Amino acid sequence: MTYTVTENTPDPLWNEAYVYGFDDQYMGSPEWWNHYAYDVDYWEVDILHPGIEISKWADKTCAEVGEVVVYEITVTNPSDDTPMDFVLTDSLLGVIWGYGTGITGDMFFDSYWTLAPGESVTFGGYPGNDGIPQDGYVYIAKMAYVVTGEEFGDPQIPNDGADPFTNVATVQAWDAQDHQVWARDFWIVDVCHPGIQVVKSGPEYASVGETITYFINVTNTGDVTLYDVSIDDVPVGVDLFTIAVMLPGETVMLSYTYLVQPGSEPFTNVVTATGRYCVDRYVSDSDEWTVKRYSSVEGLKFADLSLDGLMEGGEPGLGNWVIDLEGDLYEGGHVSMTRLTDSNGAYQFLMLKPGDYTVSEVMQSGWIHITAASQSFSLGMGQTYSLDLGC
């Protein structure tokens, strides 16, 4: 005889069996009860409710190659009346708990862990030896997993790993009568290869007081989306631009201006692009551009009435005089320029590079030199050389 236990079967299951007997004088006898006998027996069955639950978690949803991902797995016996033995395996990490683990503790006395009704245990990664520092938690060193980029791939093929990779934890449990149950949970880790590149360009030379334009290209060179990409430039300013989203491979072109300050050295501006990925991770790149300052030569052509070589009050400037400049550049090359003085006698040579220069004037008829006919000098970077010419 068999009976199938259902969810509506009372617990415990009480089953009574009755037997009745009588002899051949039972029928028609006025004392029939003396010819009748019966007995009863019963059997009680405790209804088990085997069950097992699993919850898997890790401290990261994305990680770079070489980074440690710490996993935790909690196994729980949800039954209110049935102890459960179990083994725990993981598709990436292998056997977590079961035969051959070699771990002992005060909560169990065999190769399995017996979970009492309502009891749970957590297995977690720890960068040390396997062990049980306290009831309810087990440190498993390999659950602090170092990402290789080869997860679930062909070991003969470089960088053949799954990306993202999913590893599944499976718990197999059974009660004292070998009623088996299973549960699974998984965790997904995206293998990140973040990258960002910023390339900056601008003029090679500029004059003091000039407004120049820088151009930058920002490229997401990685395989993850970047968010809130900030562009900073020192000394132009912080938070010049913010790019809300940059997809892998995307390039954004930007430009901005800068007022050249006085100085006798080249000036270098550094631009930095910083993008956020995987919630709270950042990747940055910097590039710089150096601008050299032009120099200049300026002065006045005047009538030196006092014949002292100095322009003083009452001495007029002379317009339409030809001023020549010749120069040999330190970087190589020769410069030859001519300017015509304005109505006030002023002249100016701009955008000059460092070198050795000579300034002279073309003498007009009826005039004689009071100051030298020509003057030579050296000109560094970002300098203004003043030279007045009297006659």
Q: Which domains does the chain have, with CATH numbers?
A: 13-45 (no CATH), 53-191 (2.60.40.10), 196-293 (2.60.40.10), 295-390 (2.60.40.10)
Rounded Cα distance between 249 and 195, Å, is: 10
- pLDDT of 227 reads 96
Query: Cis link prior to 235 (omega < 30° from 0)?
Result: yes
DSSP state of 222: S
Which residue's entry shows tokens 């692009």?
273
Task: For Cα atoms 240, 245, 248, give the angle at the middle one, nearest 5 degrees.
Answer: 115
Phi first, then psi: what are they for 32, rounded to 5°? -55, -30
Q: How far is it, in rounded angstroms, from Cα 240 to Cα 233?
A: 7
Residue-level pLDDT at 24: 80
How far apart CA 112 and CA 110 sit, in angstroms, is 5
Distance CA 143, CA 122 (A): 12
Residue 209 structure tokens: 């007081």
**Partner residues linked to 273 by β-bridges:** 231, 285
Under a CB-based contact definition with an 8 Å cutoff, are residues 362 and 273 in contact? no
Nearest to 59 by CA among 125, 119, 158, 7: 125
Q: How far apart are CA 186 and CA 274, in angstroms?
A: 33
Structure letter (DSSP) for residue 143: G
Tell me how far apart the alpha carbons of residues 154 and 147 are, in angstroms, rounded to a whole number. 15
Length of the chain: 391
Pairing of β 62-63 and β 180-191: parallel
pTM above 0.95, yes or no: no
Q: How far is CA 327 from CA 42, 321, 341, 387, 388, in A?
A: 123, 20, 20, 15, 18
pLDDT tens per residue, range 105-139:
434 444 456 888 999 989 988 756 665 555 678 88
With left for phi above 0 and alpha for psi between -120 and 50, is residue 136 left, alpha or beta?
left
Place of tokens 């955008």: 351
Instruction: Report the alpha-carbon distance of residue 42 to residue 161 in Å, rounded.
Output: 62
**Paired residues of 281 in beta bridges:** 277
Q: Which letter does DSSP use for residue 317 in this model? A: B
How high is the pLDDT of residue 134? 57
- CA–CA distance, 357 with 377 (Å, rounded to integer): 6
Dig out the tokens for 348 from the structure.
């100016």
R_g (Cα) of the chain, nearest Å: 46
Per-residue model confidence (pLDDT) at position 128: 60
Q: Are 292 and 381 in contact (CB under 8 A)?
A: yes
Residue labelled with tokens 């996993």: 71
Q: What is the DSSP letter of 364?
A: P
Q: How many whole angstroms separate alpha carbon 300 and alpha carbon 315?
A: 11
Given a cut of 50, the residues of the chain with pLDDT beneath it are: 104-111
* HSE-CB of 138 using CA atoms within 13 angstroms: 24
What is the per-residue pLDDT for 279?
A: 79
Residue 129's pLDDT is: 60
